Structure 1
Amino acid sequence: MDGPSTERELVAACLRGDRRAQEAFYRRYAPAALASCRRYAPDREEAMSLLNGGMMKVFEKLPQYRWEGSLEGWVRRLVFRHTVDEFRRQRQRPVLELANWDQPTEDAVTHRLFADDLCKLIDLLPETSKEVFWLFAVEGYSHAEIAAKLDFSEGNSRWHLNKARQLLRERLAHSTHQYSRYAG
């Protein structure tokens, strides 16, 4: 690539409006963010749509990036949040039909509701524990990769993952559920 070689140079060129730098930025960070979109979208086309919308948010918020943590992690987080926001925006409220009350629920609907609940709980975690949990449990990174990305030890990565799991277990055990998904 004949453009900026470091992340800081690439971001600076993007902020100046350099289209080639913006394309290079997209090509560098979009594949990692796409993996997150693919987990929530039913097909590649919708995943690409979510990715592109999320990357637009990234470019809008790029001037706010503070160089704390990894740039790739920040991009993934913004794209993920955009994805969740899109699903929340598109989701229609369920309507209770008394005549069909005993019909089976589609797995996709149940999984989507459960995923929304989990995302809300994950968002309540302390920032570093949340990032480690997300990278490990959702994105599939190893502790060594997480430690390298976040610039701390593997032991620290394991500690944050265990802390996140513990907090999630406590919140799941103590939360009052508004709707019972398994009634009957």
Structure 2
Amino acid sequence: MDSYPDDKSLVAACVAGDRRAQEVFYRRYAPTALVVCRRYSPDREEAMALLNGGMMKVFEKLATFRWEGSLEGWVKRLVFRSTIDQFRGQPRRPTLEVADWDQPTEASATHSLYADDLCRIIDMLPETSKEVFWLFAVEGFNHAEIAERLQFSEGNSRWHLNKARQILREKLQSDAFKINRYAG
């Protein structure tokens, strides 16, 4: 058990430069921040590098946290922004603009799968479509927010979401995923 009973005392110790407190903070918030990084890199080593870069930003800005919301949410947001910044320097992938393709898909196919199976399938998506899918379906962003974050149009965001849904639907309907591997 750590000697920091609440987040405020832990943050105060981290800001004061207490290395033990910084380790406790890292161990407390790194697992949830790693989930953000794994969305952008299925490779564990690269995801860990993204996490460490993001956590460095968190420690740099920790003194500016205003306690107006969740500390965990703030950490995840900073790690997300740091991750996006690291990918911004890379060449842009070509994208196709198609409007009005945001069609609903059948949700019942996913009910028989477990979370790790879904993550494995989602990791198979093309990078931009995977990113849009996660932001929309998991994080709850709308197309305008996604377009602003990823610096392309709302129509492009809708197209990538539809493409991700199509690929997921095809994979979920394939024979490999029809049988639940955990069933007796």
- Same fold by TM (over 0.5)? yes
Question: Which deviations, in whole Å up to 9, do the C-alpha atoms of 1:113-161 show, x marking residues without a partner?
Answer: 3456679xx7xxxxxxxxxx7xxx326xxxxxxxxxxxxxxxxxxxxx6
Residue equivalent to 1:38? 38
Structure 1 residue runs without a partner (length 5+):
96-107, 123-132, 140-160
Structure 1 residue 4: deviation in Å?
1.6
Residues 81-125 of structure 1 deviation map (CA, whole Å, 9 limit, x = unaligned):
1111111123x2469xxxxxxxxxxxx9x8333456679xx7xxx
| Matched residue, 1:152 | none
How far apart in 1 are the matches of 2:41 and 2:51?
10
Q: 1:42: Cα distance to partner? A: 2.9
Superposed, 1:1-184 pairs within 5 Å as 1-90=1-90, 92-93=91-92, 111-114=126-129, 137-138=137-138, 168=143, 175=154
Q: 1:3: Cα distance to partner?
A: 2.1
C-alpha distance in structure 1 between counterparts of 2:154 and 2:70, whole Å: 32
Supply the distance in 2 between the matched residues of 1:84 and 1:42 (Cα, whole angstroms). Answer: 15
Change in Cα spacing, 1:18 to 1:39, as seen in structure 2 (3 Å) is: same
Distance 1:16 1:88 in 2: 32
Q: Could you list the runs of 4 or more consecutive aligned residues of structure 1 that deviate by over 3 angstroms after TM superposition?
A: 113-119, 174-177
Normalised by the size of structure 1, how large is the TM-score?
Answer: 0.56
Q: Distance in 2 between matches of 1:118 and 1:2?
A: 37
Structure 1 residues 74 and 94, CA gap change in structure 2 (3 angstroms): closer
Tell me the TM-score normalised to structure 2 length: 0.56
Q: CA RMSD in A?
A: 3.5
Fraction of identical pairs, as percent: 58
Aligned residues: 126
* Contact 2:143–2:154 (8 Å) recurs in 1: no
Unaligned ranges ≥5, structure 2: 95-122, 148-152, 164-184
Structure 2 SS opposite 1:20: helix
Q: 1:175 to 1:79 in 2, by over 3 A?
A: closer
Q: Which residue of 1 aligns with 2:176?
A: none
1:146-181 Cα offsets, whole Å, 9 max, x none, are xxxxxxxxxxxxxxx6xx6xx538x98x8465xx98
2:3 match: secondary structure: coil
Taking CA–CA contacts closer than 8 Å with sequence separation of 6 or more, which of the two structures ends up with the larger relative contact order? 2
- Secondary structure of 2:47's aligned partner: helix
1:43 maps to amino acid: D
Q: CA deviation at 1:53?
A: 0.3
